Structure formats: C-alpha cells, structure tokens
Amino acid sequence: MRFCFSQKARVMQRFFVVFIIMLSLSACSSTNTRDIPANLPDQIGVNATLTQASTIATVDQPAPAFTWRDAQGTTRQLADYRGQRVILNMWATWCEPCRSEMPDLDRVHGRNDVVVIGINKGQNIDVIPPFIDEIGVSFPLISDPDGDVSLAYGVRNLPTSVFIDREGFVRTISIGILSADALTLQLERLP
C-alpha cells in the first residue's frame, strides 16, 4: 500500500525532522555549560563536574578528579593543587554546623601548603554570594548543583571534610563538624 502525502503533510514532516535534528544538536552541545552569573566574587566557582566516571572515594585511594569554572570562566581542576594538602569541605548554606566550622577552615587556608575548597552540595549558585557576605571566608566555594561530586566522595551528611595529601590521595574522611583542635590534628597527620 502506497501513501500519498499532500504538500502540507510533507512540509510538516520536514519541519518535524529539522526540529528533531536541532533538538538533538542542542542537547549534545550543552554539556555542563551553564552561564556564570555576572559580578560573581572571585573565590566562587561554578558547576563542579566529575572528569570521569568514578567509584566512591575511599581512604588511601586517588581522590576522584573534578573540574569547575572560576568567576572569570577559567576551567580549574583538583589536580591543579597537587603538591599541596587539600581539604575538600562539603557544605550547604542551611547547614548550621557547616557555618560554624567555616572560620576555622578559613584560618588554615593558605597556610603551610594547605588549600581549602568548599563544595556546596546541591544548591543553586545564587545562594553562595550572600553566604560569603555573611560568613566572610576567603577560600574557594564551588557549586555542585547536581551533587555529582559530593556523591563521588560518598557525602550523605553535612558537613563532610575530605583530606587529600600532596600526591592526590584521600587520607581521611571526616563526617560532622570539625573543631579547631580536630582540624589541627588531621592536618598534622596529613603528609
């Protein structure tokens, strides 16, 4: 049986095919390219993204690699900090224990080869600038709106801090608030 399409039906069919192709192309090109909001403070990074499929982080294994874009649009990665001791601190603006440990984390950031990177779990980038104004930290705070990076580090509770040595290996995962003394102790144990 042979169908005979009217000219109107053929035009609609072509339109539909072009629409599907355009939709497919736009989906392929939009891999984590969310816009960076204007006037973002320098220490804010956006869209933490795993660089490869990863198992959940475990002690004495390489830290799962991820990237983000800084306020100027430059792509950064965890590997940029090799040779330094890194504390990844998973937090959220609504988390009171997270807020209370931020000043202690800020005090160790930049001292004795220590870098603190705050990973905001599952919140929109818009909540971070007011948080910085309120709390006043200087270390990088990066949005992880989809929670992929937090998930790769096994984060279920906030705050969670992951201590990474100079070679890029996870050495300690600390769940819950870190007192100044506990933070000092963990850093002393981190080669």
pLDDT digits (tens, 9 = 90+) for 125-149: 999 999 999 999 999 999 999 999 9
**Which residue carries 């601190």 as its tokens?**
89
Residue 30 lies in a domain: no
Residue 72 lies in a domain: yes
For the ranges 17-21, 46-50, 87-91, 104-108, the lowest mean pLDDT is seen at: 17-21
56, 155 in Cβ contact below 8 A? Answer: no
Q: What is the DSSP letter of 80?
A: G
Residue 168 has pLDDT above 70, yes or no: yes
What does the pLDDT read at residue 191? 82
Residue 113 lies in a domain: yes
Residue 12 lies in a domain: no
**Confidence class for position 41, pLDDT limits 50, 70, 90:** confident
What does the pLDDT read at residue 16? 46
Per-residue pLDDT tens over the stretch 144-163? 999 999 999 999 999 999 99
Residue 16 lies in a domain: no
Identify the CATH number of the domain in which residue 60 sits: 3.40.30.10
Q: Which amino acid is at 47?
A: N
Count other Cβ atoms within 10 Å, centred on residue 175: 14
Kindly list the strands in the beta sheet with 66-70, ordered across the sheet, starting from the edge strand earlier in the chain: 75-77, 66-70, 44-50, 141-144, 114-121, 85-91, 160-164, 170-175
What does the pLDDT read at residue 6? 59
Q: Which amino acid is at 12?
A: M
- Look up the domain containing 135 and give its range: 44-189
Q: How would you class 17 by CB atoms within 10 Å of its CB: exposed for 0-12, middle for 13-18, buried for 19 or more?
A: exposed
% pLDDT > 70, the chain: 82
What does the pLDDT read at residue 22? 42
What is the pTM assigned to this prediction? 0.80
Domain count, the chain: 1
Angle value at C-alpha 100, between 127 and 129, nearest 5 degrees: 20
- The catalytic site residues sit at 98
Residue 180 lies in a domain: yes
Task: List the structure tokens of 118.
Answer: 């705050």
What does the pLDDT read at residue 8? 59
Residue 111 lies in a domain: yes
Distance between CA atoms of residues 148 and 122, nearest Å: 9
